[in-house]
Amino acid sequence: MRPDKKELMELLSTKGEENLASLYKRAYEIKKQFVGTTVYLRGLIELSNICSKNCYYCGIRSGNKEVNRYQISFQEAMEEVKLCIDFHYGSIVIQAGEREDKPWIDFITKLVKSIKELSDNKLGITLSLGEQELEVYQQWFEAGAHRYLLRIETSNPELYKALHPANHSFAHRLNCLHLLRQCGYQVGTGVMTGLPGQTIEDLANDILFFSDEDIDMLGMGPFIPHHNTPFKNLIDSFNPTEALNLGLKMIAVCRITLQDVNIASTTALQALHPEGRELGLKAGANVLMPNITDTKYRKGYQLYEGKPGLNETAIQFQKELEKHIYAIGETIGYDKWGDSHHFFKRKNEKTL
């Protein structure tokens, strides 16, 4: 059933500690009922910060000349994959800036195939590599990737226009989501919350967009201004508590209304609060993406200011992680893909 916009706006406008606590509690009950309290882990490799795009909000946009660009080699990437297997994470996410050149496309294909081989087909693979042609999405799907994350960033085309240069297209990005669906991927999208110029109505419309597009997975997080972007003037007035609360509210309202989708508790939440990750889980998220990128590259992947874990190795993180998850009474789905329940429901409905 399509959520009611007025109700969405009311829920998203929740204020005051008590009301917020009951909103999160309601979301948590629905999470328990529809997806359970097992957290699924995806080891995240930030494969390269080379990007042909110039999104105004992003710290690794092509226009930022102060960033040293890197690309992790095949061998190094495979070392990180081994870590992921050793940690029993179950899935891996490969994320990077956007590139459409053939050497890059073939590099990804080779990597995906090799991950499947090395893990004996056991590691689930999610890609987050931006807008590509149908043939490229197909090639990567056939190589073994089965989930793809492409945030729409905002479902408001006017706001999208204000956040991107003229050669970036909302319609094209939306079409990419459709191409991904056509290939057979579990499709993930999402938005940033607290974007300059964004209203509560925009966020409600975002949720309607997720519902209308029948999205399987969501990755959403607060917008955090970066000093080397056109939005640097927003740093002084940025309020981390407000940004955190809005990000958590969005997770909770998505869980309440969309019920069986996978929702990630993202690093941007952690950047705003030391327990941001757990707060995300308590507001309804059920997926975490521990960063397994070698620490020597992390400085180069600062999409926003204050991204945490710059020096924390994957091993240190893994030790802490269990403690934190068990502390909130949840378990970890080691060695499980933890696929989106919504995806299977959608598939079954189609075949009925």
- Binding stretches for ligand SF4 (CB under 6 A): 51, 53, 55, 58, 60-61, 97-98, 130
Quickly list H helices, 213-313.
Answer: 240-258, 267-272, 276-282, 295-298
Contact 289, 269 (CB under 8 A): no
Residues 6+ apart with CB under 8 A from 18: none
Tell me the closest approach of the beta carbon of residue 244 to ligand SAH, in angstroms.
12
**Binder of residue 144, out of ligand SF4, ligand SAH, none (CB less than 5 to 8 A by kind):** none
Tell me the closest approach of the beta carbon of residue 180 to ligand SAH, in angstroms.
12
Contact 11, 202 (CB under 8 A): no
Contact 280, 43 (CB under 8 A): no
How far is residue 25's CA from residue 335's CA, in Å, rounded to a whole number?
Answer: 28
Tell me the closest approach of the beta carbon of residue 32 to ligand SAH, in angstroms.
28
**Binder of residue 61, out of ligand SAH, ligand SF4, none (CB less than 5 to 8 A by kind):** ligand SF4
**Binder of residue 226, out of ligand SF4, ligand SAH, none (CB less than 5 to 8 A by kind):** ligand SAH
- Residue among 160 and 210 whose Cβ is closer to ligand SF4: 160
How far is residue 215's CA from residue 210's CA, in Å, rounded to a whole number?
Answer: 5
Contact 93, 267 (CB under 8 A): no
Chain-centroid distance, C-alpha 248: 14
How far is residue 67's CA from residue 49's CA, in Å, rounded to a whole number?
Answer: 9
In 180-291, DSSP assigns E strands to 186-189, 192-193, 217-222, 262-265, 287-288
- Residue among 52 and 295 whose Cβ is closer to ligand SF4: 52
Tell me the closest approach of the beta carbon of residue 104 to ligand SAH, in angstroms.
12
- Residue among 146 and 173 whose Cβ is closer to ligand SAH: 173
**Binder of residue 77, out of ligand SF4, ligand SAH, none (CB less than 5 to 8 A by kind):** none
- Residue among 28 and 231 whose Cβ is closer to ligand SF4: 231
Contact 247, 221 (CB under 8 A): yes
**Binder of residue 304, out of ligand SF4, ligand SAH, none (CB less than 5 to 8 A by kind):** ligand SAH
Tell me the closest approach of the beta carbon of residue 303 to ligand SF4, in angstroms.
6
- Residue among 145 and 224 whose Cβ is closer to ligand SAH: 224
- Residue among 127 and 325 whose Cβ is closer to ligand SAH: 127
311 burial (CB, 10 Å; 0-12 / 13-18 / 19+) is: exposed
DSSP-derived 3-state class of residue 35? coil
Tell me the closest approach of the beta carbon of residue 153 to ligand SF4, in angstroms.
8
Tell me the closest approach of the beta carbon of residue 61 to ligand SF4, in angstroms.
4
**Binder of residue 253, out of ligand SAH, ligand SF4, none (CB less than 5 to 8 A by kind):** none
Angle between helices 134-143 and 102-118 (to 10 degrees): 20
Residues at the contact surface with ligand SAH, assessed by CB under 6 A: 57-58, 95, 97-98, 128, 130, 150-151, 153, 192, 221, 223-224, 226, 268, 303-304
102 burial (CB, 10 Å; 0-12 / 13-18 / 19+) is: exposed
Tell me the closest approach of the beta carbon of residue 95 to ligand SAH, in angstroms.
5
- Residue among 144 and 190 whose Cβ is closer to ligand SF4: 190
Q: How many other C-beta atoms are found inside a 10 Å radius of the C-beta of residue 310? A: 12
**Binder of residue 189, out of ligand SAH, ligand SF4, none (CB less than 5 to 8 A by kind):** none
Tell me the closest approach of the beta carbon of residue 194 to ligand SAH, in angstroms.
9
349's enclosing H/E stretch is: helix 341-351
| The pair of three-digit structure tokens given for residue 313, joined into one six-digit string | 């190795």
How far is residue 188's CA from residue 40's CA, in Å, rounded to a whole number?
Answer: 15
- Residue among 98 and 294 whose Cβ is closer to ligand SF4: 98
- Residue among 51 and 159 whose Cβ is closer to ligand SF4: 51
**Binder of residue 221, out of ligand SAH, ligand SF4, none (CB less than 5 to 8 A by kind):** ligand SAH
